[in-house]
Amino acid sequence: MITIKGLFCRLYNIRRLLLFLAVGLLGLATLLASSEKPHYITLSGIASKAPINSGTATAFALNPDGSLLRRLGTATTGSDGSFSIGIEPYSKSIFIEVAGGTYTDEATGNTVTNTATLRAAMTGVSFNFTTGIGPFTVTPLTEIAVRLAGTLTQANIDQANTLVSNLIGGIDITTTSPADVTNVASATAEANGRDYGLILATISQMIFDGSATGVDDAITQISNDLSEGKLNTSGANISSSLANFLSSPNNQTGIGLDGTVLDESINTFTSGPIISKGYSMEDLNGTWRGADINTPQKGFFAPQWFGFDVETLTLNSDGTGTVTCIETSQGACDPPDSFSGIVMSSEGIMTTPLDPNEASDWVMGANKNIIVEIFRQSSTGDEHHVFGVSVKKAASYSMADLVGTWYMMGIATPQIGISNSTLFGFNAAEITLQSDGSGTYTCIASSEGPCGLPESLSGMSISSDGIITAPQDPNNFSNMLMGENKDIIVELFRDNNTGSEQHLLGVWVKKAASYSMADLAGTWYDMGIDTPQKGFSNPDHFGFAFETIALQADGTGTETCISASDPCDPPQIISGVSINSDGIVLGPLEPNVASNTVMGASKDIIISLFRDNNTGNELQGLGLWLKKAD
């Protein structure tokens, strides 16, 4: 029986329930409403010809096919060219456009209206809720890269940004903030920002000097010229205007031509392509010099298969040529030998006539001045392979070509007929040289144990033919050959002392002023040879590998085996590859595995020294990566 008191109690409880539900629904609505609001982050950057004031910066997201996905936001640039755009969280590729505004022309000091639309494209972008995205840089150089990229796919963007970055000595054109070189503060600016500012000032100087009618005309001249990977028409004007600005009173950096890498880098592009397109038989033309080492194949340990050769190759565009022995482990050199039938594919892979049971892989790098080869002889009783590196010879050389910091990596084996396993070994070093042949040798890693203190060097010299000599210990001999671009050296060292009979194949690459993740982007040919480590003689640790590695600027990519001493695996997805500002390449490694990997100054060669230190698997490997031309 329901009483009046009970009815009131029930009504009271129902009212409490309805109030509870109302409060809950209100909270839920508030939660849903707040969840619908986007969490904005900041996309920041700098717009600079000189710093662009009151320009309009607009950011867009890009589809994988290079088309515009959507507009992300717009902002006005400040007096220093900076901008901040509030956008919804976004990753992957971004496109930024800057139009309008004014800037102070570096060559004249006048305030100029910006009439050029400047664009920049970046890939592998990731956001952070605290720091946002960027800062990115939008300049005439990023506009040149956008024009060179054409369709804004990830691969095209990375390749174009790398090419234009290489033009100014490897400075990342999309992330480095240019200094205002007309301001006295630029005298203490970081070198990359200072040099970036100088090349932007050079564009103004080109207009002042009469070699361009405006910023857009200068951009068009340079981008059209760079479409073939070199500056064969505009390079002289750029170099001249750079020198003119550096000597003008408007230059407040306090440096001249000798204080910047820009002139050397531009001259390199003027004299030849850094990343040229495709390959043809014409790329064979020239005199090539190289060195190789021979080792037994996997599963064999026959001392007679150790060896070396140092040779000169004269190649012609019809695939004919002459090979001339300089030094060989086989004793006296044979007379020069003519050959024919070499063919260069459009992919940079070379083929040559072979005898039965022979195989060979040859590849050429993007600069067309280095060739790497792995040759295999599989006839019964002669199972060995040869790993060789050849560099094209320049017209002339001087002591100034030695100057710089060089990375050297080498792998050593016993000499022919020697079975002493303690003669396997490796070395990695950093060598700083001066034009008087003096310098410093700093060990990075060695099979001889912990590295010692840096050592002073002296007495190095280079002939006009690019042959390098250095003082040697008794019964030690070395052949050292410099390449055409003066940024690579191939070395074949021999120790002929009793009990120490070994030889070493070494590769030196000159270090660039700086590096960025964009330098990794592209397709690389990777060739390498493996041997047992010092003190080990397991025949299963001899081997070779030839593969392609397609890398993106975010350190991801795909590794595809072409041929190897072990059966090829399916293509492998890779990630976590990075490069620091000193050109040291890093990547994930398995336990007890070590690697030293560095990139050269022209950004088209990487050398790698690998060691597997796991018990029962003690091997070492020397590998060369050559960037493939488009």
Strands, DSSP E only, in 27-132?
41-47, 56-62, 68-76, 82-87, 92-99, 102-104, 111-113, 118-125
3-class secondary-structure state, position 397: coil
Position 271 scores a pLDDT of: 61
Region 447-454: mean pLDDT is: 94
Checking if the pLDDT of 5 tops 60, the result is: no
Q: How do residues 107-123 score in pLDDT, each as one tens digit?
A: 999 999 999 999 999 98
Q: How far apart are CA 443 and CA 511, in angstroms?
A: 16
Q: How far apart are CA 389 and CA 373, in angstroms?
A: 7
Average pLDDT, the chain: 89
Q: How do residues 275-313 score in pLDDT, each as one tens digit?
A: 445 788 888 999 999 999 999 999 999 999 999 999 999
Cα→Cα distances 537→304, 372, 585, Å: 15, 26, 30
Residue with more model confidence, 58 or 158 = 58
Q: How do residues 571-600 score in pLDDT, each as one tens digit?
A: 999 999 999 999 999 999 999 999 999 999
Query: Which two three-digit tokens encode residue 440?
Result: 């410093």
Q: How far apart are CA 257 and CA 108, in angstroms?
A: 20
Position 39 scores a pLDDT of: 65
CB of 263 closer than 8 Å to CB of 615: no
Q: How far apart are CA 480 and CA 21, in angstroms?
A: 85
Query: Which range has the top average pLDDT, 20-24, 83-87, 325-329?
Result: 325-329
The residue type of 134 is G
CB of 557 closer than 8 Å to CB of 617: no
Share of the chain above pLDDT 70, in %: 92
Q: How far apart are CA 273 and CA 102, in angstroms?
A: 35
Q: How do residues 463-493 score in pLDDT, each as one tens digit?
A: 999 999 999 999 999 999 999 989 999 999 9
Position 91 scores a pLDDT of: 67
CB of 192 closer than 8 Å to CB of 176: yes
Q: How far apart are CA 360 and CA 377, in angstroms?
A: 9
Checking if the pLDDT of 496 tops 60, the result is: yes
pTM tops 0.75, yes or no:
no
Backbone angles phi, psi at 512, to 5 degrees: -80, 170
Q: How far apart are CA 437 and CA 468, in angstroms?
A: 10
Element (H, E) at 384: strand 384-392
Share of the chain above pLDDT 90, in %: 74
Region 339-362: mean pLDDT is: 90
Checking if the pLDDT of 37 tops 80, the result is: no
Kindly indicate the confidence band of residue 128, based on its pLDDT and cuts at 50, 70 and 90. Answer: low
Residue in this structure with the two tokens 């063919």, named with its chain if needed: 343
Checking if the pLDDT of 387 tops 70, the result is: yes
Kindly indicate the confidence band of residue 129, based on its pLDDT and cuts at 50, 70 and 90. Answer: low
Q: How do residues 503-527 score in pLDDT, each as one tens digit?
A: 999 999 999 989 999 899 999 999 9
Q: How do residues 193-241 score in pLDDT, each as one tens digit?
A: 999 999 999 999 999 999 999 999 999 999 998 887 778 889 999 999 9
